[in-house]
A and B are shown apart, each in its own frame.
Chain A
Amino acid sequence: MSAHSHNHDKDKQDLNKFGYAQELLRSMGGFSNFAISFSIISILTGAVSLYGHGLKYGGPGMMGFGWPLVALFVMFIAACLAELASAIPTAGALYHWASILKNKRWGWYTAWINLIGQIGIVAGIDYSVSIFADPLLASAFGYTSTLTTTLIVFAVILLSHGILNHIGIKMVARLNDFSAWYHIAIVAVLVLTLAFLSKNGLNSVDYLFQVGQTFSDKPYMFAFLIGLLQAQWTFTGYDASAHTIEETVNPRVRAPWGIFNSVAYSFVFGFIMLAFVTLSIKDVAAANGSDNAFIYIISDALGNTFGNVILWLVTAAMWFCGLSSITSFSRMMYAFSRDKGMPFSGQWAQISKKYRTPAKAIWLAVILSFLLAFIDYIIKSANPDAAYTTIAFLTAVSVVGLYLAYGIPIFLKLIAVSQGKFQKKHLGPWHLGRYSNFIAVVSLLWIVFICVIMVIPPNEMAGYAVLGMMVLLIIMDFAYYKKHFQGPQAALATSMEDILRRERELEQGSSSKPGVTRQA
């Protein structure tokens, strides 16, 4: 028996213990698992599209101090999530962990909060692509970029991601692998061109750590905290390595590494990129006053033609990021629907017979993400003088949703450990040993802090959106949860015979029905 087939059987048996059949195609290696999270974090999406936001509130010092500060605390959180992924390797991840660490109601809320964050992150990423692509297309084809044209470009980009994700995990995994290398290559190109070809030369290193300058009407320290959204949003979505865990070979080791390493490498490459972009600023006030500070700085430093080439390359990186984020989002919904957590769960848990992908969940992810941006488009059209930007709104929603969903299982694991429910024997191979609780406490403190920062003015709209969705959740709790949601614990009642039958059906391509048949 080869090492690969041995691992595959062991991985399948591990999953079967949780009452689930191996429905998704398990073909992702360690690099692919890392690549999907690295691509969703995408330093060329978050750090770039919110560069203007960071610069406006924190000045150049936001890049020198804000980025490593946020990265440090995000690594605490990533380490906790990695430990949980190693212990409980299922695609439901956050919500599954919360369900079995406490109860199904905690799991249900975690899933929906995660879902809110996922809608925000997919919409935010693809909207980032469109706010870069639309002006570039406008200058190439001679039309004027408006909110409407940006929305149309956004819809087309979402559509392309939906189609590719539907077609198959193998192709998306290959594109994710390529995306990881592509990100590193583009950062290298950007850094080298700014280092050697910048028309204005580079500022001294001190400039990167210059604090006290803000272009907002807030006191500097407060403005600096608001500006942290730039780094904090960039460092989201690394739970993708856990959501694709049922598609990863040797998942209890590879997925945790995917989670942690994607954050660590993003910190390093992101910092190098931000440092060189910031050191290239010639006129910070003009950059801040422009429509897009990043585009302004690159064009100013490298000229319009070469600058445009670089910007197209960056935009392509953002497109890859959106592709990966739909994969992660759809897997989360597939897993949640498999446990009947959503209305019409039977639909979203279906696996395409031909492609072995959760096709309907993929298209639901596309539609929900479009709707969030579309609602904001209507609000902005009715009130063009609104103080917030669409991208800040979408990204703040995703930060709050995702980090609350990250925090709940971390908190519940602490409780379960203190009650002796979760013991050392339950830890997977990737764990933090005696430092686990300390790292979890620091993570939780940061999550509380950052969630408050993300919803105070000027981002109060994001707070209202999250609050509104929470009210909706409470209503759904009474209207749907009690009647339908079985929780992942229900899957434990599934007989091994049923699980193996389901796997045989999928091997033979004879069924696309959701999940396994459960005993009454």
Chain B
Amino acid sequence: MELTIGILLIVVTSLFAVWIVRLAGRSIREFDESKHESFLGK
């Protein structure tokens, strides 16, 4: 039982990492510099 939960936890953690990498990768590809504005806190 502990072994199954442990492996599941490792799989979930790995899948989360992959998901973030895909999410950020897509945002970089779709980034439009012309629409960007530096946040200066003004």
Residues of B within 8 A of A260 (CB): 20-21, 24
Asked if B2 contacts A209 (CB within 8 A), the reply is: yes
Partner pick for A426 among B6, B17, B28, B39, CB 8 A cutoff: B39
Asked if A65 contacts B27 (CB within 8 A), the reply is: no
Asked if A75 contacts B24 (CB within 8 A), the reply is: no
Q: How far apart are the CA atoms of A514 and B35 in the complex, in Å?
A: 34
The SS class assigned to the A binding surface is helix
Q: How far apart are the CA atoms of A428 and B24 in the complex, in Å?
A: 11
| Chain B contacts with A in 14-28, Cβ cutoff 8 A | 14, 16-17, 20-21, 23-24, 26-28
Closest Cβ of chain A to B22, distance in Å, is 11
Partner pick for B23 among A206, A271, A429, A432, CB 8 A cutoff: A432
Q: Does A68 contact B (CB under 8 A)?
A: yes
- How many of chain B's residues touch chain A, expressed as a range? 20 to 34
Partner pick for B3 among A82, A99, A209, A433, CB 8 A cutoff: A209
Residues of A within 8 A of B5 (CB): 65, 209
Residues of A within 8 A of B12 (CB): 72
* Pairs A–B under 8 Å by Cβ, sample size 23: A68-B13, A72-B12, A75-B20, A87-B39, A101-B39, A205-B3, A209-B3, A253-B28, A257-B24, A260-B21, A264-B20, A271-B10, A425-B35, A426-B36, A427-B27, A429-B31, A432-B20, A432-B23, A432-B24, A433-B26, A433-B27, A492-B40, A492-B42
Q: How far apart are the CA atoms of A79 and B38 in the complex, in Å?
A: 20
- How many of chain A's residues touch chain B, expressed as a range? 35 or more
Asked if A17 contacts B40 (CB within 8 A), the reply is: yes
Closest Cβ of chain A to B35, distance in Å, is 6
Q: How far apart are the CA atoms of A463 and B41 in the complex, in Å?
A: 33
Q: Does A100 contact B (CB under 8 A)?
A: yes
Asked if B41 contacts A100 (CB within 8 A), the reply is: yes
Q: Closest A residue to B18 by CB, please name it.
A: A264
Q: Does A401 contact B (CB under 8 A)?
A: no
Q: How far apart are the CA atoms of A101 and B39 in the complex, in Å?
A: 9
